[in-house]
Structure 1
Amino acid sequence: MRLRALPDFSPRRVFLFTVALGGAAGVDFVASSMMGIAGTHIRGGVHASPEDFLWSMTSYAAMASVANLMLARIARHTSYRSYTVVGLLVAALGSLLCMLCDTPLELTIARGVQGFGAGGLFAASRILIQLVAARDERGPLFIGFNIGSLGLSAITPWLAAELVEGAAWQMVFAIQVVLALAVLVLVLLTYPHRVTPAGGLWELDIDPMDWPVVILFGLGAMVLMHGLGDLRFYEFASSPSVALTPLAGVALIGAAFVRLHREPQLWLDPHALLGRRYLVGILFYAIYYFLNGLWNYLIPTLLQSGFGFGFQVTGEVLTWASTLSLGAMLCFSLVAPKLFGQRRYIAFGYVLFSVALLMLSLRTMTGASMDVILPALFLQGLTVPFVMAQVAGMTFVDFDEDDFQDAYAFKNIVRQIATASGTGAASLWLQYGETVARTRLVERITPFDLGGMPPMPELMRMASELETQATLVASANLLSWLAVFCGCVAVIALLIRWRTTPVS
């Protein structure tokens, strides 16, 4: 198809342009998801504890939040094309730095660089679609966008597993360097040039910018996410002060919004973010991305440490599940105009999610074959169009182009915080659950079960089985609670009102 705003673009170039848009967003998706999928290997490579590893995720999300905060101002001064090009270069540099890390601190810093480059790419791509296409032209554009974004997310687990098994954990980030540079080439070849750019990136005047807002927002996001992850690591009854950390993060972000309320034109305009429909949509976005970050960490850990499948098999399975999600999204793109704005489809998506979680929790046992696990993974993959795409269709319907840029940038700040919080929470929750399960399993072992003092090889085998059982028990419990939670979200989706009620 042709676009009225880009009359010189052939249908083929329009398609490649949308694939490039999706590919840029996919660089961000891959950078976030691979920390969960390959988290065990990365943690072992830099000798990081779960708490140390959490910092590498929160630093990415915090700097990505800063990037989204600065996105609109930089892009309006230069162009979204220039912003994307620079973002991809910084993302590639950050991925390269991650490859060279030897300690958790180095990984935390490198991930911050990666997040600053990649964190705003999804928002930049989605906003650009809004700017170059009229409402009646946007639907078909998401076919190429989904191929680029979800296609990268689908192929990366398999590719990373193949390379890590044959080389080392650094290949997880080497792939991301190559992907960022490949997408950069596609962007340079297909993106439209701004006709009369206001200026170059080097001409951006940073003096009048309210930098306390940036510092408060970035620091608040990091403190909030790390505090949320730590909550499950400590016994709240014995350490109530642990709740002060996430509260401090909320306070810092609140202080940033207080300043934004006075000078909205410099960063985000908070007045554009107060509609009822938008706030409800942001809530559902946060829930989905929290669950997505948690799922992306829990499932690879369960498949490898619980069921005993290798990283190669795990990567292949996750690629097939992601490919199914891609297919579902492509089908949804064809019928989206008839389905948008229906709360029952969101509820149906969460019912599917709940059933998938419950199925997997009931099949979490020693010796389970992949045949009984795959249906649950594939069912979860089908939830993407019903949950994410439907929420998107109902959240942004009221915004004009200018307000859409602020609204989508803030949505991606929420996405980064929710995804990192879910991944970090899964890491720490599993550690806590495994500790409890291991303690209870050991308490059941008596001298009669051991038959005297067994030889060392037998003790090592029993210890390994104990660790496996602890992972299975902890995962099954977490999956069961998440199934109940998704069922509750489905009910809320049916009951809550999305009607726009602007707040003055």
Structure 2
Amino acid sequence: MSASGTLQNDDLVLYGIDRVIITITAVLCALLEIVDTTIVNVALNDMRGSLGATLTDVAWVITAYAIANVIVIPMTSWLSQQFGRRNYFAASIIIFTFSSFLCGNATGIWELVLFRFIQGLGGGALLVTSQTIITESYPVEKRGMAQAIYGMGVIVGPTLGPPLGGYLVDNYSWPYIFYINVPIGIIATLLTLTYVKSPKYGDKLKSNQVDWWGIITLAMFIGSLQFVLEHGQQDDWFNDHVIVIVSIMSFVGLFFFIWRQLVYEYPIVNLRVLKDNNLRVGTILSFVLGFGLYGSTFIIPIYTQSVLGWTATDAGLLLIPSSLMTAFMMPIIGKLIQKGVPQPYLVAGGFLMFFVFTFWMHNIMTPDTGEEHMFWPLIVRGFGLGLLFVPITTLSLSTLSGKSIGEGAAFTGMMRQLGGSFGIAIITTFISRLSQEHRVNLIKNIDGANAMVQQRIQGLQQNFIAKGFSPNEALDKAYQLIDLSVTKQSTVLSYMDVFMYLGLLFLICIPFILLIKKGKNKVDLSEAMH
């Protein structure tokens, strides 16, 4: 780091109560962003009911937020330079807070999706900028402690989201999962304007130097691709002309985005850093990690509420042991890496553990699966994720140096978030398609001429007659009950398939670890801040 850079950092260092306040502010903002990524998962069923949405439609509440995050994260550094870190950070909090209020007041699913997208644009800056602020507020010799404090906040966020969302949904209503952001956001804004400092950046880019085409093509590529993933199944994929048009838009957006970033003097995203082999492999691993992490966090609350009939609170509490196991593993993995344990072994172990988790879940899923059946598989999930977070990041950045570390870190973060968007979209598509296939196959096995089937129908009919229904009404209700049973069983089978496919994806990725070259074990995270 240059002398000027060191001086700049010294100007930003805080002491005493000021540093305590700025630490609380930064961690609070990071928590706002992370909690809001997971808090909505347990409220999706209630949103579906009150807004009259399908499972595919309501998934956009999550994916719209994720898409906005992915678009804005690579631009955070440039935006901070253009407007000043304090101003940009405060504006992001205000956008996040106001859009949270609008989300709570949404009266339709697509209105909610729009406000969630805007919320994601504000939230995208919170996580990245919070880490930068808290790092630069501490002197160099205490930045390890700063990262530990920030890391604990990041770990607590996913743990708090589901149970907090469940409590608010069960005791109030789903809009309160957004309203809770408003008072916290107001406090964070006031603290930011009072205590956060802006470093002295170089000259701002002129308006004709801004990579507007890069921004437009990035948004065009990601947004169009997400639309295809979400609506392909229900619109019969490429038999629908809209899907074909949007797919072409996505491909064109990707092509021109890559071309623009490679030829423009001031690119919004530096693609040249991907020449590093470890980073290329690391971005793939980060994508798969996001796919499994956000995909499993999405699918478990939906399964427990829609199939098992659990409350939102119970569905949220189910995920706590897994999150606590991940938090427990993080410092242990950090120490192992510092002692020289090869990261590829840790990553391979993490992928293997995640496969064990999905295979276990595949085997225990029934319409009557209880909490006691899922406890240990979820512990294994937490153990596996603990093995993946830090090692994948350090592996990705291990052969980079200087400014490239920050650019590489942005890529891994972006790809992890994008992997989550793909995971949720593809999982909802698979559940829909596989449920239909299993239902058709199950109905084929119900032969009205079969003695056992007739006996089952007659038994149900007699039960309804005993409750006061006429023979015809009782027969209709018996058929309805059998149909409901077939639907429920086909849904369970589709969830089983999805878990197996997730596990196989992680298993297949293990050979990629062999492509990673040995780099330095320790990555100076403070370099990634600049």
Pick aligned residue for 1:68 from 51, 65, 73: 73
User: SS at 1:120's partner residue?
Assistant: helix
CA offset digits 1:286-326 (Å, max 9, x no partner):
11001112112111111122233222211111233323322
Q: For residue 302 of structure 2, what is the amino acid of its counterpart?
A: T
Deviates more, 1:275-284 or 1:58-67: 58-67
User: SS at 1:267's partner residue?
Assistant: coil
CA offset digits 1:158-182 (Å, max 9, x no partner):
1111111122221222234455445
CA shift at 1:355, angstroms? 0.6
Provide the rounded CA distance (Å) in 1 between the counterparts of 2:72 and 2:339. 35
2:106/2:112 contact within 8 Å kept: yes
1:255 alignment counterpart: 256
CA RMSD of aligned residues (A): 3.3
| TM-score, normalised by the number of residues in structure 1 | 0.86
CA shift at 1:456, angstroms? 4.8
* 1:391 matches 2:392: yes
With over 3 angstroms needed to count, the CA separation of the structure-2 counterparts of 1:226 and 1:136, relative to structure 1, is farther
* 1:223 matches 2:242: no
Deviates more, 1:115-124 or 1:319-328: 319-328
Provide the rounded CA distance (Å) in 1 between the counterparts of 2:277 and 2:227. 29
With over 3 angstroms needed to count, the CA separation of the structure-2 counterparts of 1:480 and 1:48, relative to structure 1, is same
Matches within 5 A, 1:146-161: 146-161=151-166
1:407 alignment counterpart: 408
2:291/2:420 contact within 8 Å kept: yes
2:13/2:136 contact within 8 Å kept: no
CA shift at 1:483, angstroms? 1.9
CA shift at 1:25, angstroms? 3.2
Unaligned runs of at least 5 residues, structure 2: 1-8, 449-453, 462-471, 520-530
1:57/1:424 contact within 8 Å kept: no
2:288 alignment counterpart: 287
User: SS at 2:339's partner residue?
Assistant: helix
2:312 alignment counterpart: 311
CA shift at 1:375, angstroms? 0.6
CA shift at 1:390, angstroms? 0.6
1:193 alignment counterpart: 197
2:298 alignment counterpart: 297
Provide the rounded CA distance (Å) in 1 between the counterparts of 2:291 and 2:487. 27
Provide the rounded CA distance (Å) in 1 between the counterparts of 2:303 and 2:414. 29
2:423 alignment counterpart: 422
CA shift at 1:272, angstroms? 2.7
Pick aligned residue for 1:492 from 503, 507, 512: 512
* 1:173 matches 2:178: yes
| TM-score, normalised by the number of residues in structure 2 | 0.82
* 1:481 matches 2:482: no
Pick aligned residue for 2:47 from 2, 23, 42: 42
CA shift at 1:433, angstroms? 1.7
Pick aligned residue for 2:105 from 100, 103, 116: 100
Larger radius of gyration between Structure 1 and Structure 2: 2
Pick aligned residue for 1:472 from 492, 495, 501: 492
Provide the rounded CA distance (Å) in 1 between the counterparts of 2:139 and 2:400. 13
Question: Identity, % of aligned pairs?
Answer: 17
Provide the rounded CA distance (Å) in 2 between the counterparts of 1:119 and 1:276. 27
CA shift at 1:135, angstroms? 8.4
User: SS at 1:38's partner residue?
Assistant: helix
User: SS at 1:381's partner residue?
Assistant: helix
1:341/1:393 contact within 8 Å kept: no
* 1:140 matches 2:159: no
1:37/1:296 contact within 8 Å kept: no
Deviates more, 1:82-91 or 1:462-471: 462-471
CA offset digits 1:43-78 (Å, max 9, x no partner):
333222344334444433333233223211121234
1:368 alignment counterpart: 369
CA offset digits 1:80-109 (Å, max 9, x no partner):
444332222211122221111112221221
Provide the rounded CA distance (Å) in 2 between the counterparts of 1:356 and 1:235. 32
2:70/2:414 contact within 8 Å kept: yes
CA offset digits 1:88-133 (Å, max 9, x no partner):
2211122221111112221221112111101232233345567667
1:450 alignment counterpart: 457
Provide the rounded CA distance (Å) in 1 between the counterparts of 2:188 and 2:241. 47
Q: For residue 153 of structure 1, what is the amino acid of its counterpart?
A: P
1:29/1:149 contact within 8 Å kept: yes
Matches within 5 A, 1:16-55: 17=22, 20-55=25-60
With over 3 angstroms needed to count, the CA separation of the structure-2 counterparts of 1:42 and 1:356, relative to structure 1, is same
With over 3 angstroms needed to count, the CA separation of the structure-2 counterparts of 1:286 and 1:136, relative to structure 1, is farther
With over 3 angstroms needed to count, the CA separation of the structure-2 counterparts of 1:445 and 1:134, relative to structure 1, is farther
Q: For residue 495 of structure 2, what is the amino acid of its counterpart?
A: S
User: SS at 1:365's partner residue?
Assistant: coil
Provide the rounded CA distance (Å) in 2 between the counterparts of 1:384 and 1:140. 23
Unaligned runs of at least 5 residues, structure 1: none
2:275 alignment counterpart: 274
Provide the rounded CA distance (Å) in 2 between the counterparts of 1:322 and 1:182. 27
Q: For residue 169 of structure 2, what is the amino acid of its counterpart?
A: V
With over 3 angstroms needed to count, the CA separation of the structure-2 counterparts of 1:241 and 1:82, relative to structure 1, is closer
1:353 alignment counterpart: 354
CA offset digits 1:19-49 (Å, max 9, x no partner):
6444433333333333434322223332223
